[in-house]
Every structure is written in structure tokens, then in C-alpha cells.
A = this chain, B = another copy of it.
Amino acid sequence: MTNLDSLFNPKSIAVIGVSDNTTKLGTIIYNNIISEGYEGRVYPVNPNYKEIFGNKCYPKVGCISDAVEVAVIVIPSQFVFDVIKDCAEKKVKYAIIISAGFSETGKEGKKLEEKIVAYASKNGLRILGPNCLGIAVTRNKLDATFAAQDIEEGNIAFVSQSGAFNTALLDLAMKKNLGFSHFVSLGNKSDLNELDFLEHWLKDDRIKVIGMYIEEFENGRDLLELIRKNSLKPVVVLHPGETQEAQKAISSHTGSLAGSSIITRTALQQYGIIQVDGIEKMFNTLMILSYSKKTKGDKVAIITNAGGPGIIMTDEIVKAGLKLAEPTEKSRKLLKKSLPAAASVNNPIDIIGDAQADRYNTALNIAIKDQNIDSIICLLSPQIVTQIEETAKLLINFSLTGEKPVIPVFIGGRYIEAGLERLYNNKIASFDSPENAIYALKKLTDYSLISSRLKVASSDSIFKGESKYSNEILKYLSDKSTPLPENLVRKLASEVNFDLPKEAVVKNIDEAILFANKTRYPLVLKASTEDISHKTDFKALFLNISNENELQSAYIQLKKNIYNATNNKSPIILVQEQIRADEELIIGTNRDGDSLVYNNGKGFGHIVLFGKGGIYTEVYKDTSTGLVPMSRNQIMEMIDKTKISTVVKGTRGLQALAYEKLIDTIESVQKLVLLYPEIESIDINPAMITKERCVAVDIKIFVRK
């Protein structure tokens, strides 16, 4: 684990590139550090000044007599290398390179960046950036960023690959009074990356929530391993690039290739990482996780002074996958007794338009004791007699003291502002629209429920085996995707016990009939791969052979066809049982990045894909994915996310198909890529499932270094 103590709380900081021009970034950072009241020593460095703002200015870091732990570098990129050398000589521990003009600008910049990092790492100097906004650690009163926004103290640690995302989030935080413990801009993350910070923060008890904006993850497997070992603290991630267009934009933004979005999302989801997809959504999710209590379940009650908006809220709750709570009989009786006749005592609990704070109080007191209710939305619209600030005060009290989340949602604009401001100032997770509130509440609920049952399959449980065909595979291994030949695929399939169609190579019709008598009709007769690969097209496949007569005539015909096409008089002919599938499925796997050895790989490794196969594969795209390794339970969860799983499991009056055999097949796929990480992809399409079997009819395997 990287020791970040010196970076977070340096005894002394040098700022390289300070001048007397207060609009320059170097000066802004220097002034930010000073004005926030940082208690360590701060040294301005600039060869052109003897003194800056009354303080002695140094020509270079080496001239500072004191030890320097952190250097903040804010000078044009072409001068950075020399300063880095200077810092290394001075035994500076961390250099924060604010300057732009490196890998984000193209090849030249990339070379320069690599040169700097290579030199630094040889000399024990770690680098944050370049091309970053800086770092802030509120508990140490350290603000070494050039953000104009003040950063308040709080329990959220945030790291981001986009400086602009950071400033927007900070600006919102300033308005709504959300606090952070750490605020880090990674820039080009030439050296320090999100994992260095994550590892530190997961172990820091004063941090309650971790947020990350990451366009490309480094070392995906390491990230997951960190999370697996510390899965109780909520980690919220915004990983843009769901669409191809956005992935292209990422490439042009960061100068490198974006990873596969679906693999990343699958991996994050499987490890209980909370994913959001917008700036406001990130903010609201951080806020609710920072302030609110966990919820015990997904049943939500609405207390509202507004009928129509209560209905809109109901739609939002159900559409988000939460449940509308059903208050107990007792609660309803109590509500009926205490509320006006026109009120509705079901959920939404409509305390009607003339409700003042006392009526919210009445309803809340009942709802908060109701065991059928897990969380409470308090919806307020600014009607003529509404006591906006009084109600806010009341809700602050209930939020802070109650045992379940009480979430104020004040809808409107002008008049509700004072109410919301009071709520934000008192650290209550509050919202100005039903959509935003329910989005955040859903994240809180998911987190509350998942964190109590998250069982990630550990890498210790990785299947170990002999990998006895590694040498054979080696022959096909190169930088390009290469398909394995049929016979090697068969060997691998047998090694992990795939259920394959029974088949035999037959030399004459008698052998074919012998096979037919041992197996069952219908059968398939086909030419060998060798003969088929011959140039001339010919009918090489006979399906639906249902009795001995048909077998004989098909055999004769096929032999004739092969002879006509290839002149081969004694061809190899394959006879195979024909599977009548109840459902055609697709099972596959794909590898992300270079995962030959997971620990050194950049990507997340293999994911398994499962779904409806056959002609509907592309029509319904009914698939789900899971990251290898999965426990048997996780495989079931993956299957159950598809719609076709209802057919496999035999709901709706249909007989169940071989669900357990399907799980076996997926486990076999998983075993195969764990035995042979050089496998880049496996494609079983179709896998034929019947009431008794799950047969891998057509298997394709590609390998790549």
C-alpha cells in the first residue's frame, strides 16, 4: 500500500511557478494553500522573484534549506523535467504536476510524460497528474487546488479523472453545503491512480463514502480485490462511455483506448460498487450515503401535502424498483383519527393542501413507528398556508433522531429555497424533485440491502486444474485472435465435461447403423471438416434423419456428393445425434484486456454471457453477464436476470427445462477460461436445452496472447 501520509499532510510544500500575478494558476494555488490556513511550511519557488507577497521566494527547490515533502508544479510543460530532477535531488516525496501539455496532447507530450515518470520512479519520487486540478484534504486545511470553490469538511472522499467534473461537483457542493474529506484530481494519472487512493480511504474510518469519476480503470482485478476485502464502505462510481459515441470521445479526451464498457459495468456491479450516470446523480447519491441512515428494506411511504405530485412520486417509486409501503391497519386507524376527513390514510398519505408543520408531525410520528415502512418521503409543495421553514425544522429533527431514512422533497422554486437551504445546512439529504429523490433513495436502498448479503466469489476459490492442453494451445497463440481447430475444441470440451451431441466417425453404412441403434433417431449425417473445406460447394449436411431407410439413402447421397466435389472415394463421414431443443440458448465468454495473468493485467478478465440464442439472439438481445469467477449462486443470479430464464425454469404453466445442467455448462465455461486464460473468447451458439440436457452443439474457441 502506497503511504500517502506525506501527500495528505506534508510538513512542507513548495509551489513552483508562483508569481505576483494573482490570476495565474501557480499563484492561485499558493494563495489557496495559505488562505485555507494550512499549518505546514509553504515555499514559493520562482527564479524571477526574490520575494512574493512579502515572503522569501526561492529560485529552485534545491535552494530551500528545509526538507520539502510535496512539490506543486505549475510551469510550462517543457520546463517540468528539470524541476522534477531538482525535486528528486532534494528528496521530495510527491510532485503534483498541475501543468498540462503531456500525453493528452499527443505523441510528443506522451514521450515527455513517460520520461518524467521513469526518472521520478527511479529516484523515489511519486507523481500526481500531470494535467490535474490538484488535491485538497480538508481535515488538514490543505487546499492545493486551483478551484475557486471552497471545499467544506465532510466524510466523503472523492477522486476524479476529470478536473471539470470536480469543479462542477464542488460548485454544487458549495451551494448545497456538502462536505468532503479528500478531493483529488488524477489528471493523466501517469503514476498515482485511483487504486492508491481507494486503498487508503477504504481503511480510513473517518471516511464514510468514496466517490470516483473514472473514464478508464487501471488494473481492474486489483480494484475488485480491494473492494472484496473491504466491501462494507459504499463506493460510488461514474464511468461514462455507455454508448460508442461517448467511448470515442473518451479516446480523444484521454488519448488512449477505452475499455469495454459492458465488462467494466458487469465487474463493478458484481462487486457491489454503486454506479451512477450523471453529475447531479453522483452528487445526490454521495449526499444520501453521507447523511442518511441505512434502510432495512425497500418499502417507501409518502407523506404529502400535494395529491398530484404524490401520484407522480408513486410512479417514480414503482418504476425505480422500490415498493410502495402498505401502512399497518393500526397506523391507518391512527392516521384516520388524527388527520382531517379529506386526508388519505393509505400510501401516499395525503395530509392535504392546508397542512401545516403540525400535520406533518402527526403523520411522521405514526409512519416512523410502522414496521411496514422502511423509509419515508416527505413531499412538500409551497401552498398558501404551507409552513416551509417550520416543516424543514421538523424534518431535520426526524431525520437526525429517527431510525429510518426520512427524506424531505420540497418541490417548486422560489418559496421552497429557504426550506431547502435550512435542510442542507443541517446535513439532511433533501431534494427538489421526485425523480432526484427516488434515484438517490434507490441507491441507498440497494446499498443497504446488498452490503448485508454481498458474497463475492474470492480469487482463492478460483478453480485450479492441470491445464493439460496448454502446450497444444501454445501453437495457436499470437497477437491475433486465432480459432482453435475442432479436435482441440473437443478435447477441451471433454476436459470440463461439456455435454456434447453423441457422434461417431463412420467408414461405412454398417457402422452408421450400429451408431444409430446405440443412440436414437433423429440423426445428422455430415462430411468431415477436411472435405467441407474443399473449394466446391456441395450438400454436406443431412438433418432430421428419422429411420434406417433415410439413413441409408442419406449416406449414399452424401458419399456421392463428396466424391463429386473432392474425388475422395473413402471419405470420413460423421454421424451425430440431432438434439431437439426446447430452447436454444447462447453461452459465451470474452476477455477484457491482457489477462493472461490477472494480477498484471490491465483489464477485468473474463466475463460470461448468457441469453436467448437462435434467431432471436439479435432480435431480443436478452442476455446477461457475470464476471469470472462466479459462485454457483451468482451464476443462477445471472441466468435469472434474463427473460428467457422464466421459460427455462418452467413458470407460466410450461414444464421446466434442465436448469441445473445449464448451470453446469456455465460452470464448465468458467473452468475452461480459468484453466486457460489464454482463451480470448468462447461462443456456444446454440446451446440446446431440453428437459433433461443442456447440449453444447456448436462451440467456437479463440485464443490470443
Binding site for B on A (CB under 8 A): 23, 25, 28, 100-101, 104-105, 146-149, 160-165, 167-168, 170-176, 213, 215, 238, 240-246, 248-250, 252-253, 277-281, 305-312, 314-319, 324, 341-342, 344, 346, 348, 350, 353, 381-385, 411-417, 432-435, 615-616, 618-620, 622, 643-644, 646-647, 652, 654
Report yes or no: B412 in contact with A171, Cβ–Cβ below 8 A: yes
CA distance A70 to B468 in the complex (A): 93
Q: Which residue of B lies closest to A417 (CB)?
A: B175
Copies in the complex: 2
Report yes or no: A161 in contact with B414, Cβ–Cβ below 8 A: no
Set of chain B residues within 8 Å of A654, measured between Cβ atoms: 615
CA distance A565 to B535 in the complex (A): 62
Report yes or no: B245 in contact with A324, Cβ–Cβ below 8 A: yes
Known: A160-B308, A278-B433, A385-B23. A243 touches B318 (CB 8 A): yes
Give, as a whole number of angstroms, the nearest-CB distance from A380 to chain B: 9
Set of chain B residues within 8 Å of A415, measured between Cβ atoms: 148-149, 171, 174
Q: Which residue of B lies closest to A147 (CB)?
A: B384
Report yes or no: B100 in contact with A342, Cβ–Cβ below 8 A: yes
Q: Which residue of B lies closest to A23 (CB)?
A: B385
Report yes or no: A168 in contact with B306, Cβ–Cβ below 8 A: yes
Set of chain B residues within 8 Å of A278, measured between Cβ atoms: 312, 316, 433-435
Report yes or no: A384 in contact with B25, Cβ–Cβ below 8 A: yes
Q: Which residue of B lies closest to A100 (CB)?
A: B342
Give 9 nearest A-B pairs by CB, closest first: A162-B308, A175-B413, A164-B306, A171-B412, A172-B413, A243-B318, A165-B308, A174-B414, A246-B314
Report yes or no: B620 in contact with A311, Cβ–Cβ below 8 A: no
Give, as a whole number of angstroms, the nearest-CB distance from A508 to chain B: 32
CA distance A556 to B618 in the complex (A): 46
Set of chain B residues within 8 Å of A413, measured between Cβ atoms: 171-176
Selected contact of A315 from candidates B23, B105, B241, B319, CB within 8 Å: B241
Selected contact of A242 from candidates B315, B344, B416, CB within 8 Å: B315
Set of chain B residues within 8 Å of A309, measured between Cβ atoms: 162, 164-165, 168, 279
Set of chain B residues within 8 Å of A615, measured between Cβ atoms: 647, 654
Give, as a whole number of angstroms, the nearest-CB distance from A583 to chain B: 9
Selected contact of A308 from candidates B23, B146, B253, B317, CB within 8 Å: B253
Report yes or no: A171 in contact with B434, Cβ–Cβ below 8 A: no
Set of chain B residues within 8 Å of A619, measured between Cβ atoms: 643-644, 646-647
CA distance A238 to B342 in the complex (A): 25
CA distance A367 to B646 in the complex (A): 50
CA distance A162 to B167 in the complex (A): 39
CA distance A310 to B164 in the complex (A): 10
Q: Which residue of B lies closest to A242 (CB)?
A: B315
CA distance A609 to B560 in the complex (A): 52
Give, as a whole number of angstroms, the nearest-CB distance from A391 to chain B: 14
